[in-house]
Amino acid sequence: MENKLAKLRDELTALEQVVIAYSGGVDSTFLLFQALQELGKENVLAVIAESPTYPQEEIAAAIILADKLGVECRQIKTEEFSDENFLRNSKERCYFCKKELFAKLKQLALEKGITHLADGSNFDDLRDFRPGSKAKLEFGVRSPLQEAGLTKAEIRELSRQSDLPTWDKPSLACLSSRIPYGTRITLETLAKIGWGEEYLKQKGFKQVRVRHHGSIARIELEEEFIPLIMENGLMPEVTRYFEGLGYFYVTLDLKGYRTGSLNEEVSDESDLS
């Protein structure tokens, strides 16, 4: 792990200046922290995107954390909801979303006279279906954590050693990733998903996903937390809440939480190129 960290530091030093796509999550926060260590705050710009696909409370927390780290943090609005390619939610959805984000980052970088863009993709992300990677190549976005071979677990441990408050933060992903491919993305659906996940977090569940299947809400929890939802009368309460959101059926996925579960149905090898 130390060799990987040394490689990361060398990569960041070589960039000299960088604009970082920042979300306040585990990976982008660690990348931002290391960039500040190697380049100094005058050579690093953190940029966070405001979008209906990302909870407002997460944006607010990310801005506060960036301020504590002492880095300049810009907030931009992305407009993927103006793109029919995004709204129709094909298997390439992530590409169109990332294309919109990186285009705006590129424009901001040019205005600041900064050549390099970077995001917080890690080595584990190479195992998942990630069409957004194509947009990274088109805009020349670097992924220093991934290039250094750092996994999510290693990033968490290094974050813990660096006293970063995000070291044990639940994994984040845009709310549109809860909607199966082919189901149109709407503001109403994203709001339902967001409310549902926030409700479960308030009930003490840490890592949650509400997968939207039309009239069905499929809830994913970490395996060790699954029994808790069946105790103390919580299951009927959860059911009533989700029915109030408009779901007719409320289900609990017995496989538990896993990253990108909706990609499990992506089996065509041509989609993975």
Are 110 and 98 a contacting pair, CB within 8 Å? no
Between 26-39 and 152-161, two packed helices, what is the crossing angle to 10 degrees? Answer: 60
Instruction: Please state, in angstroms and rounded to a whole number, the distance separating the CA atoms of residues 221 and 82.
Output: 33
Q: What is the secondary structure of 211-248 as a DSSP string?
A: EEETTEEEEEE-GGGGGGGGSTTHHHHHHHHHHHHT-S
- Residue 89: phi and psi, rounded to 5, are 60, 55
266 confidence band (pLDDT: 50, 70, 90): low
Instruction: Please state, in angstroms and rounded to a whole number, the distance separating the CA atoms of residues 230 and 233.
Output: 7
Q: What average pLDDT does the segment 9-29 reach? A: 96
Residue 128 reports pLDDT greater than 80: no
Residue 198 reports pLDDT greater than 90: yes
- pLDDT of 195 reads 96
What's the sign of the alpha-carbon dihedral 137, 143, 148, 154?
Answer: negative
Q: What average pLDDT does the segment 14-20 reach? A: 96
Instruction: Please state, in angstroms and rounded to a whole number, the distance separating the CA atoms of residues 20 and 39.
Output: 13
* Region class of 70: left (phi > 0), else alpha (psi between -120 and 50), else beta: left
- pLDDT of 270 reads 39
- pLDDT of 20 reads 97
268 confidence band (pLDDT: 50, 70, 90): very low
Q: What is the secondary structure of 69-90 as a DSSP string?
A: HT-EEEEEE--GGG-HHHHTT-
Between 26-39 and 2-15, two packed helices, what is the crossing angle to 10 degrees? Answer: 60
73 confidence band (pLDDT: 50, 70, 90): very high
Residue 269 reports pLDDT greater than 70: no
Kindly list the catalytic residues: 174
All structural domains of the chain, each given as residue ranges with its CATH number in brackets, are: 2-161 (3.40.50.620), 175-264 (3.30.70)
Query: How far from each other are the two terminal CA atoms of the chain, in whole angstroms?
Result: 29
Q: What average pLDDT does the segment 203-220 reach? A: 95
Residue 222 reports pLDDT greater than 70: yes
Structure tokens at 11: 């990569």
Instruction: Please state, in angstroms and rounded to a whole number, the distance separating the CA atoms of residues 252 and 160.
Output: 32
Percent of the chain with pLDDT over 90: 81
- pLDDT of 265 reads 66
Q: What is the secondary structure of 103-146 as a DSSP string?
A: HHHHHHHHHHT--EEE----GGGGGS--THHHHHHHHTEE-HHH
Structure tokens at 221: 């929890």
pTM of the predicted protein model:
0.89
Q: Which of 54-68, 119-133, 205-219 has the lowest mean pLDDT?
A: 119-133
Q: What average pLDDT does the segment 197-207 reach? A: 93
Q: What average pLDDT does the segment 219-248 reach? A: 91
